[in-house]
Amino acid sequence: MASSSSSIVMASSSSDEACGYDVFLSFFGQDTRDSFTDHLYHNLRHSGISTFRDNEGINKGEQLQPEFKKAIEESRASIVVLSKNYATSTWCLDELLLILEQRSKGDYLVLPVFYRVEVTDIRNLKGNFDIQVKPSSKWTYDNVNKWRTALKQVADLAGHVLSGPETSFLREIVDTVYNKLDLKEVSLPLNIIGMARHEEEINSWHVGDVKSMK
């Protein structure tokens, strides 16, 4: 894969930003970047939760860039959006390894979000999650074994499975982050609220029947 520079976006935060981020978002861009993950990011942002995400997602190469490793290490939690093609990306799988490694150190929340996938397919490594060794420098026996173990581990964690309206689903995720990280609700300035409403209006022009989730 060709490498390219990435644009990194961080939301406003209710926590001390000197300590890093509240949440790191891990997701497969082609599945959810411009839809679910974008709505999730803006819900977190408008709720005052400091959030790190890759805002470009153009082919980034096989090696995880240092700023992503640093962001995971400096976050208090990671939300892993497990979508249909998440496990086809070595980038996502390497992120998952780092996220679970951070969790093993203690006091780190990993919240899996099962987006239009079956939890049992991930736990049992079926379909797109049945990853195998390939003739590639990354898809080696050792790497694939680590990734398969990581997928099983994340599938066994308590998380959120999409059911019902996405607006309610997004609110549940934000509420979980608040409760688990013991964050306090923040009052957004009027100008920020106005910007959020303006974004909702613009978004409604483009998504048709799908309501704004911000």
Instruction: Give the tens place of pLDDT for each residue, 85-120.
Output: 999 999 999 999 999 999 999 999 999 999 999 999
Query: In the prediction, which pLDDT does 173 show?
Result: 98
What is the DSSP track for 63-91?
SPPHHHHHHHHHEEEEEEEE-TTGGG-HH
- Chain segment 29-54, per-residue pLDDT in tens: 999 999 999 999 999 999 999 999 98
Domain for residue 194, yes or no? no
Domain membership of residue 214 (yes or no) is no
pTM of the predicted model as reported, rounded to 2 decimal places: 0.77
CA 93/CA 157 separation, integer angstroms:
16
Residue 19 maps to a domain: yes
Q: What strands lie across the sheet with 160-161, from one edge to the other? A: 8-10, 51-54, 21-26, 75-82, 109-114, 160-161
Residue 204 lies in a domain: no
Determine, yes or no, domain membership for 206. Answer: no
Residue 201 lies in a domain: no
In a domain, 23, yes or no: yes
What's the domain count of the chain?
1
- The pLDDT assigned to 15 comes to 40
What tokens appear for 202 in the block? 């613009």
56: annotated active-site residue: no
Band the pLDDT of 207: cuts 50, 70, 90.
very low
Domain that holds residue 138: 8-188
Residue 189 has pLDDT above 70, yes or no: no
CB-based contact 42:203 (threshold 8 Å) = no
Q: Tens digits of per-residue pLDDT, 6-36?
A: 344 444 343 444 458 999 999 999 999 999 9
C-alpha pair distances (Å), 130 with each of 92, 138, 201: 15, 16, 41
Question: What is d(CA 101, CA 73) in angstroms, rounded to the nearest whole number?
Answer: 9
Measured distance CA(124)–CA(120) in Å, rounded: 6
pLDDT at 27 (0 to 100): 97
pLDDT digits (tens, 9 = 90+) for 123-167: 999 999 999 999 988 999 999 999 999 999 999 999 999 998 999
- CATH code of the domain containing 32: 3.40.50.10140
Mean pLDDT of 54-70: 69
Catalytic residue chosen out of the listed positions 17, 56, 74, 95: 95
Q: Is residue 31 part of a domain?
A: yes
